[in-house]
Chains A and B, each alone.
Chain A
Amino acid sequence: MSTVDAPRRPRGDDDPRRIRAVAHVGAAAGAAFATCFLTGLISHFLQHPTSWFAWPTHPVWLFRLTQGLHVATGFVAVPLVLVKLGLVYRRLFVRPPLHSVRLLVGHLLERVSIGVLVGACLFQLVTGVMNVAQWYPWPFFFPDVHYAVAYLAIGALAVHIAVKLPLAQRYWHAPPAPVDTSSPLVDRRTAVTAAAAAAGVVAVGIAGQSVTPLRPFAFLSPRSGRGPQRLPVNRTAVQAGIAAAALDPDYRLTIAGPDGATRAWSLAELRDLPQTTATLPIACVEGWSVGAEWTGVRLSDLLRAAGTTTSTDVRVVSLEPVGGYRTSVLPAGFVADDSTLLALRLNGDVLDLDHGYPCRLIAPNRPGVLQTKWVGRIEVLP
């Protein structure tokens, strides 16, 4: 062990092998954040539709993939960021260059930008991981804040990459020879191996919440993937306070046309209409997804029976009296899709109360939170 007592280099961070390790682990963390950001944008614009964001109805598994990736890359980013920050931690204690105002200003600017970068990235990881487990010990609305801070994190990351690109490029491949025996507490290969191994272990721990065959191994997933009728529940009937309204024998599904004319169906009448079966996943914004077989009335058939158009957006309204997700707007392309149903049955049985009895919306390739449950009213928008 000749390494402990070796003389210190004046500036340990100039150790090329450390810079190389930082570049490699940093690139992986950056890729994880970029994937997380882009997939997060998809989820955001599905929940806040804008005219320029068109999302297809097929393939039906696309949102399942993007949102599964969103949560998985966020989880995997945790060990990558930990190792990355560990490798550069000593930079926190670099003495400011007090002999030159110009250098000092640059130094302080870098400190502030790194502070924003680290603060925003850790905030995104912490709040995201807690949200997936439905833990909200804060007064703000998670989606709005997670969305806003995402721009801060990705912006600070882009600036950071712009600043560090030449350094990373210079040391990306085999570094020049001199072996610095003083600085690293761990060597480059150990750091990269640790980052890769921990990322792999975390990936196995979370991927199974979206990739069904890996489900038994998903030791970090907040859900087992089981539930009533072999499907987990994001928000139960008890949580929604919906049981009385949903079980009311006088239940009617009302369709309101763009002119305000309404027509109503009882549950028995809905069951008498032609039934369609579709295999579609519930893909939750929290990352979990499970495929299921749904049977019910095709939405476009129902709109035609109501004598109204199938070529405009519709608003689907739940029986829930309150709640941020009691309504959802279904874009015209999804309204017309043959696999978009008002489901009455799930995996062969009458829809469970927790899954939206008496009837729920199920459309392809959308966030589960927009697959409105306990539907009471459908408004055809002009």
Chain B
Amino acid sequence: MKPSEEIKHNMIKHNMIKIPSDLSVSEGGVVNRTRMRFSSLRYEPSALVAVLLTVLLTYLVIAPLCSMVLDTVRVSLKDSAITGLPRGTFTTYFIKRTFSSRVSGVLFWTPLKHTLFISACVALLAIPLGAIMAWLTIKTDLPGRKFFSSILVVPYMLPSWTFAVAWLNLFKNRRMGGAAGILENLGLHTPDWLAYGALPIILCESLHLFPFAFLLFGNALRSVDQQLEESARVLGAPRRVITWRIIVPLLKPALMSALLLTVSRVLGSFGTPYILGSPVKYYLLPTALYNSFKVGSPGVSAVIATVTILLGVILVAVDAWFVREQKRYVTIGGKGAMKRPIPLGIMKIPAFIFSVVVVVVAVILPLGTIIFSSVTWEAGVFKPGNFTLAFWTGKNIPAYPGQSGMFFNKEVLHAAWNSLRISGLAALIAGITGLMVGYIVVKLANTFIASYLRQVSFLPYLVPSIGFAAACLSFFAVSRGPIPSLYGTIFLLILVMSMKYLPFAARSGISAMIQLGNEPEEAAQVCGATWFTRIRRIVLPIQKQALIMGIVLPFITGMKEQSLVIMLATPGTELLTTQVLRYIDYGYTQLADATMLIIVVLIFVFTFGLEKLTGGNLTAGFGGEN
């Protein structure tokens, strides 16, 4: 088709040219119309893509969740063993047991209270910290701000339970088994409230999650068009007015996102409350869910999981309402913006010290204790003969039957390979799907299908990993139509992981597409570019960074994911993170620590490798210099 025809086609499409009505009557007319429909698909296949995405996400996200909701009233084999109810029948027993039995306080209400309390505290701690650090590194002349902006992403890259493990290394007391913590060894008794429970959970979660706010505020601050500030300054507005009347309102979406993601993250985080809460029986919803699952009452687990999903849905509703209230911003301008850092003046030194403290507490200390543990025979003991490299380079380590150091350990190497391919493929699927969702959501804005895709693609984020894994396990373990049973295959892991991480990618895809706006593509369309050309030559190049983020973030998360995969991994499909848990089960603390370090190293290597490979500056994208 010649360009002129393409333009004509578009004009037809936009009702600019009336087609003679008799066309459809003639035989050739039908052919023409069919051809036109196909060619219309070629020019504007958004609708087709939207339908495909809708079907796919419904099957992969909604169906498993529905199946789990069904499990709240259906008697499973295990429950039938204990309750005596026949398998497969329907009952309200589990719902009553969870909400209004003598054990419902223990099973549900107290964990719910704890969850809300911890979420609020973490949000209050992590978001301001992230916002302050973002402002310091992007808007001010803080010394070493490029370095800070790179290293402050690290806590988020670490597995969330790193902080819990490090916390125990320091504060563990005699209440828990194994060797005592470093402080206890130094003769300082750590009370239970300091070692376990709410306080350490809040601190560890905040340390892990503040980079989230840091990234979001960083991106927002960077994309605020400098001209707005310049204009205000020209008009004589003082700094304070510029900050409160221009910058802060523009940061509202970032604040809302940070709040939403932080709360939902706490709702779904398992490792930290498990490690730090269990010793004093301080349970949150995810750990309560896990307990019910472990105890072997699938009915109650399904009820608790459903409640957490509902809480998630409420959060999505709040988000949707907020977005509707907000105007949409097109914050990426076509013109170059000049940067003028705000001088910190006498606050320069205190701000620098503060930043250093944040880095020490959030990065150096946790990693330090784990490295330290992986090279000692007895964790927490400072004696010369206590240091060893056996857990890295040793073969057949004494007192660890059949185990070699990391570099010769077949299990670890196989698990590493599994981690890489499973997270890698899942991230790729999530990233591409996410960008497609973003594209459709913006293209078909204000349609039902767009808001459906937007919300469904965000839903897995709000379902706790364990709950999502449980739902998918029961749904995909049986063969359905052309799809065989996926239990025990890496496909199940890839599938579940890619859906669980779709929200990252979809979020970044949606916000990137909103910022891009429709204009560049429409311009190309007018020039006669096909859909594929437009995607290839315009959307992808502009969105390269968003796509990279949409792949790298899920990949990073996949490499350290534990609660999502612990139920899905089988011997042979073991991942590095589940291998860590196996080692903890065996009591091989140092091997667990060393495996954890491998995860960390892999995460770093791949993040920076990808950054170099694509030429995209990831840390800049996260909020550094341009």
Q: Are A and B a genuine interacting pair, yes or no?
A: no
Give the A-binding residues of B (Cβ under 8 A). Answer: none
